């Protein structure tokens, strides 16, 4: 008699089915099932599901997905994070007993995804072996370390006068159209070959703005180390709400592996609007400007996750560059002041400077980096300190000249140096400069090599400096005298 190989094999399918039937126990099983009462504007009201927990994922029979956002005694409110056209009142809803997470890992580099991890670039879904919760607790105090190394944006005025350190939270603030996103894109492009992973989060952006950002990043070769999380203007409000938390989770997973990361939130004003919309639809009590009372906590728990970890916990870092919009330069508005108080400094873009042709239009008098100086290279820190004082004095003095005030000859010299310095601080988009370049021109300015330089000669002077530095064998740790000796031939050439 022949035996069936499927039956005799220890791991055969028939054997496994047979064992499952033998082990099955007939007992009553209770399953909670809810029902949609009403749906609209990205919100679903659901009856039933008494054991539902806040931020738990809900599964709808039509394929939609929701997130528990409001608990009442007889119903619950859920924000929709995925909605099908078939979703309507009466649809059955079940609990998942899971919190929302996103796939993380190396497979996300170079990809454009939604806050749920779904691809938007036309390629296959990224194959990731790990998932990370979108909303987690920030690292504890004992897990953190001091900011002690610089993060270079490649922008002269930032890297010298408003330095940023790895693990810092630096706000980019200003009116629309002044170049806030341009600064952030330049920062990402400048991380090439610096072993820094970048996550760029686009929240509620128009499709044209998304395409423009992706084009800049691809042309510069920045997508090799960057993940872009996109929630378009037409997306559900729930997706816009989750977008920055998704980007933070991706960057945080790399930080816990000991890597340096940068995450950009573009922008948190739109995020606050989406959160206000959801809260009002769910009938939460409104506060100032109709925002819910926990709007500060929302952004605080997001930005507090950016930090520098101590060596015992991997030594990774996550630098956050949130962007916020002002109206007519009103820096004291509700959301901007919240974010200023949460972050470690701000880069403020001024409309008057922009209209006067000063690009990037960063207002030094209102911009500050509270902890970035601790990670700045000592050589640059020493030279930049003198520069910042000179520039602020020049700005104050320039105000008096508008009233026709008669100045002493010494003040005229200060004004001339200040105008030349302002020209040195100008910079085109997508043209990052190196720390070596910054140190060289700072030394030249402090040595007085540019005192007799005409403003229209500044551009050519910087080009000559760049060419001279091609033969440089010094580094940032070299002595000041060594640098002066190396730069002297260039200084004679420009005179």
List residues with catalytic annotation. Answer: 370
Q: Is 166 exposed, middle or buried (0-12, 13-18, 19+ CB in 10 A)?
A: buried
Q: How far apart are the first and last CA of the chain?
A: 105
Q: Give the DSSP letter string of 379-445.
A: HHHHHHHHHHHHHHHHHHHHHHHTTT----HHHHHHHHHHHHHHHHH---TT----HHHHHHHHHHH
Report how far residue 157's alpha carbon sits from residue 430's, in angstroms, rounded to the nearest whole number: 14
Tokens of 35: 């029902």
Q: Which of 142, 171, 145 is nearest to 158 (CA)?
A: 171
DSSP secondary structure letter of residue 15? H
Name, in order, each residue with C-beta under 8 angstroms of 79's C-beta and a sequence gap of 6 or more: 42, 43, 66, 67, 69, 236, 237, 238, 241, 278, 282
CB-CB contact of 361 with 354 (8 Å): yes
In order of 33, 50, 70, 97, 121, the CA distances from 73 in angstroms are 16, 9, 10, 20, 43
Q: Among positive and negative, which fits the CA dihedral 441, 445, 449, 450?
A: positive
Q: Is 59 exposed, middle or buried (0-12, 13-18, 19+ CB in 10 A)?
A: middle
Q: What strand order describes the sheet that includes 171-174?
A: 112-113, 226-232, 196-205, 260-266, 317-325, 171-174, 345-348, 368-369
DSSP secondary structure letter of residue 24? -
Name, in order, each residue with C-beta under 8 angstroms of 165's C-beta and a sequence gap of 6 or more: 147, 148, 149, 150, 151, 308, 319, 371, 372, 374, 375, 376
Long-range contacts for 470-476 (Cβ within 8 Å, ≥24 apart)?
472/436, 474/436, 475/436, 476/377, 476/379, 476/380, 476/435, 476/436, 476/439
Report how far residue 9's alpha carbon sits from residue 30's, in angstroms, rounded to the nearest whole number: 37
Q: Which of 419, 478, 430 is nearest to 453 (CA)?
A: 419
For the CA atoms of 217, 221, 222, 223, the dihedral, rounded to the nearest 10 degrees, stands at 80
């Amino acid at each position: 008699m022949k035996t069936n190989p499927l039956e005799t094999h220890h791991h055969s399918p028939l054997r496994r089915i047979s064992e499952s039937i033998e082990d099955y126990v007939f007992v009553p099983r209770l399953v909670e099932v809810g029902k949609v009462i009403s749906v609209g504007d990205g919100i679903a009201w659901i009856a039933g599901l008494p054991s539902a927990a806040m931020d738990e994922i809900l599964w709808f029979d039509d394929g939609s997905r929701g997130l528990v956002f409001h608990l009442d005694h007889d119903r619950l409110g859920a924000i929709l994070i995925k909605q099908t056209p078939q979703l309507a009142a009466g649809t059955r809803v079940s609990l998942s007993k899971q919190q929302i997470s996103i796939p993380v890992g190396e497979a996300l580099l170079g990809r454009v995804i939604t806050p749920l991890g779904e691809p938007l670039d036309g390629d296959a879904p990224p194959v990731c072996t790990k998932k990370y919760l979108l909303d987690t607790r920030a690292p504890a105090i004992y897990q953190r370390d001091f900011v002690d190394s610089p993060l270079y944006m490649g922008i002269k005025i930032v890297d010298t006068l408003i330095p940023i350190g790895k693990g810092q939270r630096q706000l980019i603030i200003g009116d629309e159209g002044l170049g806030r996103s341009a600064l952030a894109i330049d920062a990402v492009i400048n991380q090439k070959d610096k072993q820094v992973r970048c996550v760029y989060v686009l929240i509620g952006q128009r499709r044209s703005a998304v395409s423009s950002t992706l084009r800049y990043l691809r042309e510069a070769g920045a997508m090799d180390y960057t993940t872009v999380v996109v929630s378009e203007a037409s997306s559900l409000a729930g997706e816009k709400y989750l977008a920055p938390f998704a980007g933070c989770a991706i960057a945080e997973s790399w930080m816990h592996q000991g890597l340096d990361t940068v995450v950009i939130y573009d922008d948190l004003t739109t995020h606050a609007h989406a959160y206000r919309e959801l809260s009002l639809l769910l009938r939460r009590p409104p506060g100032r400007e109709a925002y819910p009372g926990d709007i500060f906590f929302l952004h605080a728990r997001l930005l507090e996750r950016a930090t520098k970890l101590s060596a015992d916990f991997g030594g990774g870092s996550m630098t956050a560059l949130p962007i916020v919009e002002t109206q007519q330069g009103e820096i004291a508005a509700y959301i901007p002041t919240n974010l200023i108080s949460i972050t470690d400094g701000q880069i403020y873009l001024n409309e008057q400077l922009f209209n006067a042709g000063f690009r990037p239009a960063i207002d030094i008098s209102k911009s500050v980096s509270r902890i970035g100086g601790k990670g700045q290279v000592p050589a640059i820190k020493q030279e930049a300190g003198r520069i910042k004082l000179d520039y602020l004095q020049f700005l104050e003095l320039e105000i008096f000249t508008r009233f026709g005030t008669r100045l002493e000859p010494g003040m005229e010299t200060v004004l001339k140096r200040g105008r030349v310095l302002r020209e040195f601080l100008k910079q085109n988009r997508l043209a990052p400069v190196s720390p070596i370049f910054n140190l060289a021109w700072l030394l030249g300015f402090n040595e007085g090599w540019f005192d007799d330089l005409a403003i229209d000669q500044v551009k050519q002077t910087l080009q000559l400096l760049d060419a001279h530095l091609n033969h440089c064998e010094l580094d940032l740790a070299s002595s000041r005298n060594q640098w002066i000796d190396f730069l002297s031939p260039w200084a004679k050439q420009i005179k």
